[in-house]
Amino acid sequence: MADVAQAAGVSSATVSYVISGKRPVAEHTRRVVEKAIADLGFSVNTVARSLRTGRSSIVALVVPDLSNPFFAQLAASLQEELRVLGLHVMVCDTKADREEERAFLREAVQQRFAGVVITPFRLVAKDFLVLSEAGIPAVVSADLPFGDNDLVTPDARAAIRAALTEVTEAGRRHIAMVAGPRDATGGDPRLNLLRSLAAQFGTALPGRLVVRGEHTREAGAVGFERLMRIRPRPDAVFCANDVVAIGAMDKAEELGIDIPGDVALIGHDDASFASLVRPRLTTVRYPAADVGKAAARLLIERLDGRSVRRTVHVKAEFISRGTVRTGP
């Protein structure tokens, strides 16, 4: 920058101002400086800028599983939304490990990130203290509020109700669930929601019909198998997400169990492959792109100085395909 200033015969302050536009610069001066910048191929050192301003232009996105297309799409969407403001996204895959989650939060403060967008998986509220102490805004994407952070959360009641309606109309009575791990953040709110809604349909969802595991294909297979040993055998299985549901389908095929003939299966998220498997997976769609957009908006507002907590609800939608009743 000093080089540019010298070449243009101005002070480095002026160069800084033509770049940032934070103070008017005479037309002529500006042109001279811009020419010098081009001639020298100068580009600002953003780390010096960050040191000076105390804030970088990087936002961390912390997710439990980047190989889940839902999160990949969330990442793509968030990146696209923030890009126009000159903000960058650093994607952090924690593999659902609490220590990794905490490590990334620490990292965010060390790097003086502009903000973090996180889908907590095993974190607890006090793990967020490092962030708030450092004054780094966080927006949480989760089913339940989390500390006093901004929140993007699904509005899934209607969708789950629609799912239960279809399941019930298909004559299913023994509903079960392959839920997330017991120590997951919030204790798997999807289970609680399903349970309370099922009650309205006159169906209980007792603990013995809930099986728990990671959000992986393998865990889905294992969980489904355990469910299939219960008598009377469940005839409808809700899954924590689509990855888990795919695992359940693997196992059903292996066991010679017909879906949806013998057992109805309902996923969650509508990850890209949900419509690829056969039969196509009936699922509760939670639009990753919209979640990314909402998170970006919340974060930007926060960066602009808003100080009150906000929540954005993103509507989930029941997508009826072929795993509850024979369909498309």
Residues that bind a second copy (CB under 8 A): 41, 43-48, 50-51, 56, 58, 66-67, 69, 72-73, 75-76, 79-80, 88-93, 106-107, 109-112, 133, 246, 272-273, 276-278
From the list DNA, a second copy, none, pick the one residue 230 interacts with, judged by a Cβ distance below 5 to 8 Å according to partner type: none
User: In whole angstroms, how close is the CB of 68 to a second copy at the nearest point?
Assistant: 8
- For the window 29-48, what string marks contact with DNA as x by the rule CB under 7 A? xx-------------xx--x
Burial letters 65-92, b for 16+ CB under 10 A, else e:
bbebbbbbbbbebbbebbeeeebbbbbb
Give the chain's length. Answer: 328
Q: Which of 87, 138, 76 is nearest to 109 (CA)?
A: 138
HSE, CB side, 13 Å, CA atoms: give it for residue 203: 23
State both tokens at 88: 């960058």
Amino acid at 229: R
Q: How far apart are CA 26 and CA 35, in angstroms?
A: 14
Classified as helix, coil or strand, 215 is coil
Residue 26 binds DNA, judged by CB under 7 A: yes
CB 75 within 8 A of CB 68: no
From the list DNA, a second copy, none, pick the one residue 24 interacts with, judged by a Cβ distance below 5 to 8 Å according to partner type: DNA
Q: How far apart are CA 217 and CA 242, in angstroms?
A: 9
User: In whole angstroms, how close is the CB of 86 to a second copy at the nearest point?
Assistant: 9
Residue 14 binds DNA, judged by CB under 7 A: yes
Residue 320 binds DNA, judged by CB under 7 A: no
Q: How far apart are CA 266 and CA 255, in angstroms?
A: 18
Looking at the Cβ atoms of 8 and 96, the one nearer to DNA is 8
Looking at the Cβ atoms of 46 and 192, the one nearer to a second copy is 46
Q: Which stretch binds DNA (CB under 7 A): 21-29, 137-145, 174-182, 202-210?
A: 21-29
Looking at the Cβ atoms of 112 and 226, the one nearer to a second copy is 112
Q: Which of 316, 314, 248, 327 is nearest to 282 (CA)?
A: 327
Q: Which stretch binds DNA (CB under 7 A): 2-10, 165-173, 187-195, 228-236?
A: 2-10
User: In whole angstroms, how close is the CB of 212 to DNA at the nearest point?
Assistant: 42
Q: Which of 174, 178, 282, 191 is nearest to 226 (CA)?
A: 178
From the list a second copy, DNA, none, pick the one residue 73 interacts with, judged by a Cβ distance below 5 to 8 Å according to partner type: a second copy
Residue 135 binds DNA, judged by CB under 7 A: no
Query: Under rule CB under 7 A, how many of the chain's residues touch DNA?
Result: 28
CB 237 within 8 A of CB 248: yes
Of the residues 6, 7, 21, 25, which one makes contact with DNA according to CB under 7 A: 25
Q: Which stretch binds DNA (CB under 7 A): 12-20, 169-177, 255-263, 316-324?
A: 12-20
- 211 forms bridges with which residues in the sheet? 178
DSSP state, 86? Answer: T
β-strand pairing of 210-212 with 88-93: unpaired
Q: Which of 278, 275, 260 is nearest to 325 (CA)?
A: 260
Residue 326 binds DNA, judged by CB under 7 A: no
Residue 52 binds DNA, judged by CB under 7 A: yes
**Footprint on this chain of DNA (rule: CB under 7 A):** 1-2, 9-14, 16-17, 19-20, 22-26, 28-30, 44-45, 48-49, 51-54
